[in-house]
C-alpha cells in the first residue's frame, strides 16, 4: 500500500510553517512576498521570487554548493552587506533607538519592533549579521527575531539574518564584556569559573544547553569561546578565559565548540550541523592573553602584546589543537575573531600592525599553515578612529594614519571576511574599488565572492534559509527552564574554590550565629561611561543569609563572621592625571589592596609608540597606584579585630589572580568565587555542597613576583603559601577533608 504524505501548512504567531515528509520544515512570512514552490511533491521557498527553483533554494543540495551558487548571484553591494556586523542591539532599544522617528518611550512601539536604525542597516546596507545584547524576555527576543527575518526575507535574495550574542549565561556580571547578559536564561559560572571545575565534559554539556537557549531566542552565532591563555595575571579579561594552563584551555576550547555546534537525532541536518547548532566564533586569534603589563587593548595604551619568553606558538594551541580539531563531526569552529592588539615583532617582515591587519597572522598562519577556511571577523570597531589614548572607540592599532576606507582594504588584504561593529557598507565598497585599482576587477570579484561563500555557509548549515523563525511560546519554555537552571546552578557550586579551611571550620551548622558587616562600594565609571555612585550595603541580603544560619547584628553576638569582598581593583594602567603633570601617563596595575609602588618594573617597555604620544617608552618604573577598593581589606582586618579570637570567613570574588597575603592571616576560611550567585556561596558554607573547585591560575605571593613574571609564560609566578602551609598554585583546592587529589589534578596539575 502506497502512502502519500503531502506538505502540511500551519499558521503560527506571525509566520507560517510547512512540515513535510522526508524534508525540512519551512518557515516563511506571508507578508514577505516569498511563495512556495512544489517540485516532485516537495516544498521549497522561492526566496528569489522568480517562480524557479534556484540551486541555493534547493535544500537537497550540499550547503557548500548552495553557498557558492548564491554568492555568484550577489552584487558587490550585497556582498559588502554580508561583510558588515552590527553594533550592540538591545531589545527594545530604550536608550538610542528610534521607532517611527520617536524614542521608544514615546513611540507606543511593541518591545519586539525593529528600530528605524535596524531597518536602515538591514535594507540600505544589506547587513545580515546582528549582535543582540539585552532582551526584555525570551518571548520578546523570539518575536523580534521573527520580525527581522520577515523583513529581510522580502529583500533581494531573501538572505536570513544570522543573529549573534556575546556570552549570555554568566551569573557574574561585568558590563565591559557581558553586554549579552540580561533576561531569563540558565546561569552558569563565568568562563574562569568553568575553568575551576576542570571538566571538559561539563563544558560540552553547557554548550549543548546554551545552544538550545540561543536558538530559541533566534541567536545562531556565539561570539565565544574566548580561548586566550591567561598568562598575564593583571589582564582585565582573565574573567572571560579558561585560565592560564594551555592544556586545560585547549581541552575546553574543543569541548565548548563541540557542545554548541553539534546537532543530533532529529535536529541533525548534515555533517553534524542542524537545528540545535550555533556557530562558534572562537576568539581571539592568535591569543590575547599576553598584553604588556596587563593593559587593556580596547584603549591605545594597551595596544601591544608581547612575548618575552618566546611562547607565541603556545598561545596558538587552543585554536590549532582545540577549536580547529574538534571531536565532533563539525570538525572546527566555524568562525574566528582576531584581537585588537599588535603582536609585537612576530611578523618576520617587521610589520607591527594589529592582528586584524596582519597578513602574516591571518593569511600565512591561519589560512595557509592551519588551512582554516572558516569566517574571519575583526574585533569590534577596529577600523574606526579613536579620540585619545585613554578613550575607547576605534582601535586601528598600527594603521592609525590610514583612512577608514584604507583600513578596510588593509584588513581585506590580510584575509578577513567581516568587520565587527561596522554597519555601513560605504567603506567596504571603497575598499573594493581599491582592490580593483590594485589587482583588477576579476580579482576583486573573486576575493569578495570567497568571503560571501564562507559567510553564507554558516547560515545554510544551520537551516536558516529553510526556517529562520522561532516560536515565542516555545522560547519561553526552553530558555531558563528549571532543568537548565539546575544544571547551571550546580556548575556554579562546583566552580567555587576553597583555598583555606583552618581547623576544619567549614561547613557551618544551621544554628551558627553569623555576623556579616556592610561593605563600602566605591564610586566608579562603567565601560560604556555610565556612572555608579558610592554606597554602603550588605553584599548578601540578611534575609537570604537567614535561610542558612542564625543572623546576628554585632560581632559580640556572633560565632563567626562572613566578609564578602572583591579582588583588588588596581587600575587600568594609565592615568591622564600623570600625563597632565608631565609624565608619560603609564601606571602599574596592582593586584594588592594597599598602595603599590613599582620599584622593580621594566626601565624601558618592550613595546611602545602611538601617534597621540611623544614617547615610545611605556615604563611606569617608580610610580605608585592606589587600589579603588582598599576598604575591602580594611573591612576584613577590622572584622577580625572586632571578632576577637572568633573565626572570620572571607568570600573573595575573583575575576583574575590576587595577592591575598594582606588578609589571609586574618581569615580562618577563604572561598574564591569566580562569577556565581550568593546562594551558591552559602551552600558551600552550610555544607549543602562540598567544595570541588581548583584554582585555574596561580595566586601570586606578592607584586614582586607579578612584576617579574613574563607576560606570555604560564605558571611562572611564585605562589603564595598560607599560614596553614598550603600553597595557592594552579590546580590547588580544598574539600572539607583536605587537599583535593583526583583525576583532574592527575591530568592538569604540573
User: How far apart, in whole angstroms, are the C-alpha atoms of residue 697 and residue 195?
Assistant: 9
Residues 6 or more apart whose CB falls under 8 angstroms from that of 114 comprise: 122, 144, 147, 148, 151
Express each pLDDT in 722-749 by its tens digit.
Answer: 999 999 999 999 999 999 999 999 999 9
User: How far apart, in whole angstroms, are the C-alpha atoms of residue 491 and residue 644?
Assistant: 36
pLDDT band at 285, cuts 50/70/90? very high
Express each pLDDT in 162-221 by its tens digit.
Answer: 999 999 999 864 333 333 334 489 999 999 999 999 999 999 999 999 999 999 999 999
Of 178-187, 278-287, 322-331, 463-472, minimum mean pLDDT range:
178-187
Mean pLDDT computed over every residue of the chain: 95
Domain boundaries, the chain: 79-478, 495-568+629-748, 571-627
Sequence length of the chain is 750
pLDDT, average across residues 494-504: 98
Whether 495-568+629-748 and 79-478 are alike in CATH topology: the answer is: no
Q: Count CB neighbours of 286 within 10 A.
A: 25
Q: State the pLDDT at residue 530.
A: 66
Q: What is the CATH number of domain 495-568+629-748?
A: 3.40.50.1700
Q: State the pLDDT at residue 70.
A: 98
Percentage of the chain lying above the pLDDT 90 cut: 94
Cell of 92: 527594545
* 129-135 and 88-91 strand pairing: parallel
CB 250 within 8 A of CB 316: no
- Residue reference for cell 559567510: 455
Express each pLDDT in 474-497 by its tens digit.
Answer: 999 999 999 999 999 999 999 999
Angle at CA 558, nearest 5°, toward 557 and 559? 135
Express each pLDDT in 654-696 by its tens digit.
Answer: 999 999 999 999 999 999 999 999 999 999 999 999 999 999 9
pLDDT band at 750, cuts 50/70/90? confident
Residues 6 or more apart whose CB falls under 8 angstroms from that of 654 comprise: 192, 567, 672, 673, 674
Express each pLDDT in 452-481 by its tens digit.
Answer: 999 999 999 999 999 999 999 999 999 999
Q: State the pLDDT at residue 180.
A: 35
Q: State the pLDDT at residue 6.
A: 82
Cell of 722: 598560607
User: How far apart, in whole angstroms, are the C-alpha atoms of residue 319 and residue 324?
Assistant: 6
Residue 720 has pLDDT above 70, yes or no: yes
Question: 315 to each of 232, 305, 380, 425, 496, how far by Cα in Å?
Answer: 12, 12, 21, 34, 27
Q: State the pLDDT at residue 567.
A: 97
Cell of 242: 579558561
Residue 280 has pLDDT above 60, yes or no: yes
User: How far apart, in whole angstroms, are the C-alpha atoms of residue 37 and residue 732?
Assistant: 62
Express each pLDDT in 416-451 by its tens digit.
Answer: 999 999 999 999 999 999 999 999 999 999 999 999
Of 301-315, 526-540, 549-563, minimum mean pLDDT range:
526-540
Q: What share of the chain is helix, strand, coil (3-state, %, to 5)?
A: 35, 15, 50
- Residue reference for cell 537525532: 265
Q: Count CB neighbours of 532 within 10 A.
A: 12
Q: State the Cα torsion 333-336-342-345 to the nearest 10°.
A: 50
Cell of 300: 591605545
CB 643 within 8 A of CB 561: yes
Architecture of the domain whose range is 79-478: Alpha-Beta Barrel (3.20)
Q: How far is CA 119 from the centre of its chain?
A: 27
Angle at CA 368, nearest 5°, toward 365 and 373? 105
Amino acid at each position: 500500500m502506497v502512502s502519500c504524505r503531502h506538505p502540511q501548512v500551519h499558521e503560527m504567531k506571525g509566520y507560517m510553517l510547512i512540515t513535510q515528509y522526508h524534508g525540512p520544515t519551512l518557515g516563511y512570512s506571508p507578508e514577505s512576498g516569498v511563495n512556495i514552490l512544489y517540485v516532485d511533491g516537495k516544498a521549497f521557498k522561492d526566496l528569489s521570487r522568480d517562480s524557479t527553483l534556484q540551486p541555493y533554494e534547493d535544500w537537497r543540495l550540499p550547503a557548500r554548493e548552495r553557498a557558492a551558487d548564491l554568492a555568484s548571484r550577489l552584487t558587490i553591494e550585497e556582498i559588502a552587506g554580508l561583510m558588515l556586523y552590527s553594533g550592540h542591539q538591545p531589545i527594545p532599544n530604550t536608550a538610542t533607538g528610534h521607532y517611527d522617528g520617536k524614542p521608544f518611550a514615546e513611540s507606543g512601539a511593541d518591545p519586539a519592533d525593529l528600530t528605524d536604525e535596524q531597518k536602515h542597516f538591514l535594507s540600505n546596507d544589506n547587513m545580515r549579521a546582528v549582535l543582540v545584547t539585552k532582551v526584555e524576555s525570551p518571548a520578546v527576543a523570539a518575536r523580534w527575531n521573527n520580525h527581522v527575518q520577515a523583513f529581510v526575507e522580502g529583500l533581494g535574495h531573501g538572505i536570513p539574518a544570522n543573529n549573534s550574542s556575546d556570552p549570555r549565561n554568566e551569573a557574574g556580571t561585568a558590563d565591559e564584556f557581558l553586554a549579552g547578559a540580561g533576561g531569563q536564561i540558565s546561569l552558569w559560572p563565568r568562563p574562569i569559573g568553568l575553568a575551576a571545575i576542570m571538566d571538559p565534559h561539563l563544558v560540552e554539556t553547557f554548550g549543548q544547553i546554551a545552544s538550545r537557549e540561543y536558538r530559541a531566542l533566534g541567536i545562531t552565532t556565539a561570539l565565544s569561546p574566548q580561548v586566550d591563555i591567561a598568562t598575564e595575571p593583571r589582564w582585565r579579561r582573565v574573567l572571560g578565559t579558561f585560565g592560564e594552563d594551555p592544556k586545560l584551555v585547549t581541552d575546553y576550547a574543543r569541548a565548548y565548540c563541540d557542545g554548541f555546534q553539534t546537532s543530533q537525532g532529529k535536529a541533525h541536518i548534515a555533517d553534524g550541523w542542524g537545528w540545535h547548532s550555533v556557530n562558534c566564533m572562537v576568539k581571539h586569534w592568535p591569543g590575547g592573553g599576553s598584553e604588556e603589563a596587563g593593559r587593556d587593548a580596547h584603549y591605545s595604551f594597551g595596544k601591544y602584546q608581547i612575548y618575552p619568553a618566546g611562547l607565541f606558538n603556545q598561545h596558538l594551541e587552543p585554536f590549532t589543537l582545540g577549536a580547529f580539531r574538534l571531536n565532533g563531526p563539525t570538525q572546527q569552529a566555524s568562525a574566528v575573531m582576531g584581537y585588537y592588539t599588535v603582536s609585537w615583532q612576530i611578523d618576520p617582515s617587521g610589520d607591527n600592525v594589529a592582528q586584524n591587519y596582519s597578513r602574516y597572522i591571518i593569511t600565512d598562519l591561519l589560512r595557509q599553515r592551519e588551512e582554516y577556511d572558516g569566517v574571519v571577523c575583526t574585533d569590534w570597531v577596529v577600523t574606526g578612529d579613536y579620540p585619545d589614548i585613554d578613550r575607547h572607540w576605534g582601535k586601528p592599532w598600527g594603521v592609525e594614519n590610514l583612512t577608514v576606507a584604507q583600513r578596510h582594504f588593509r584588513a581585506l588584504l590580510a584575509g578577513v571576511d567581516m568587520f565587527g561593529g561596522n554597519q555601513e557598507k560605504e567603506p567596504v565598497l571603497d575598499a573594493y574599488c581599491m582592490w580593483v585599482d590594485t589587482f583588477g576587477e576579476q580579482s576583486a570579484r573573486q576575493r569578495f565572492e570567497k568571503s560571501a561563500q564562507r559567510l553564507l555557509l554558516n547560515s545554510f548549515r544551520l537551516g536558516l534559509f529553510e526556517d529562520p523563525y522561532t516560536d515565542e511560546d516555545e522560547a519561553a519554555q526552553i530558555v531558563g527552564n528549571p532543568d537548565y537552571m539546575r544544571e547551571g546552578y550546580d556548575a556554579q557550586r562546583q566552580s567555587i574554590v576553597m583555598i583555606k579551611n583552618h581547623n576544619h571550620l567549614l561547613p557551618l551548622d544551621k544554628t551558627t550565629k553569623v555576623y556579616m558587616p556592610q561593605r563600602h562600594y566605591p564610586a566608579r565609571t562603567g565601560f560604556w561611561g555610565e556612572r555608579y555612585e558610592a554606597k554602603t550595603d550588605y553584599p548578601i541580603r540578611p534575609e537570604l543569609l537567614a535561610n542558612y544560619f542564625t543572623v546576628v547584628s554585632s560581632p559580640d553576638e556572633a560565632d563567626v563572621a562572613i566578609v564578602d569582598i572583591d579582588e583588588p581593583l588596581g587600575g587600568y594602567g594609565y592615568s591622564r592625571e600623570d600625563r597632565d603633570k608631565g609624565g608619560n601617563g603609564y601606571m602599574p596595575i596592582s593586584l594588592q589592596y594597599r598602595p603599590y609602588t613599582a620599584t622593580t618594573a621594566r626601565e624601558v617597555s618592550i613595546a611602545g609608540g602611538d601617534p597621540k604620544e611623544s614617547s615610545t617608552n611605556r615604563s611606569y618604573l617608580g610610580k605608585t597606584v592606589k587600589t579603588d577598593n582598599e576598604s575591602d581589606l580594611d573591612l576584613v582586618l577590622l572584622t577580625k579585630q572586632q571578632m576577637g579570637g572568633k573565626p572570620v570567613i572571607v568570600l573573595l570574588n575573583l575575576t583574575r589572580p590576587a595577592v591575598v597575603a594582606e588578609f589571609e592571616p586574618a581569615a580562618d576560611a577563604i572561598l574564591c568565587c569566580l562569577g556565581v550567585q550568593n546562594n551558591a556561596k552559602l551552600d558551600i558554607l552550610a555544607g549543602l555542597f562540598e567544595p570541588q573547585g581548583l584554582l585555574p591560575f596561580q595566586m601570586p605571593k606578592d607584586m614582586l613576583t607579578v612584576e617579574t613574571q613574563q607576560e606570555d609564560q604560564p605558571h611562572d609566578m611564585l605562589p603564595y603559601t598560607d599560614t596553614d602551609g598550603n600553597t595557592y598554585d594552579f590546580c590547588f583546592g580544598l574539600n572539607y577533608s583536605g587537599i583535593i587529589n583526583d583525576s583532574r589534578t592527575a591530568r592538569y596539575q604540573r
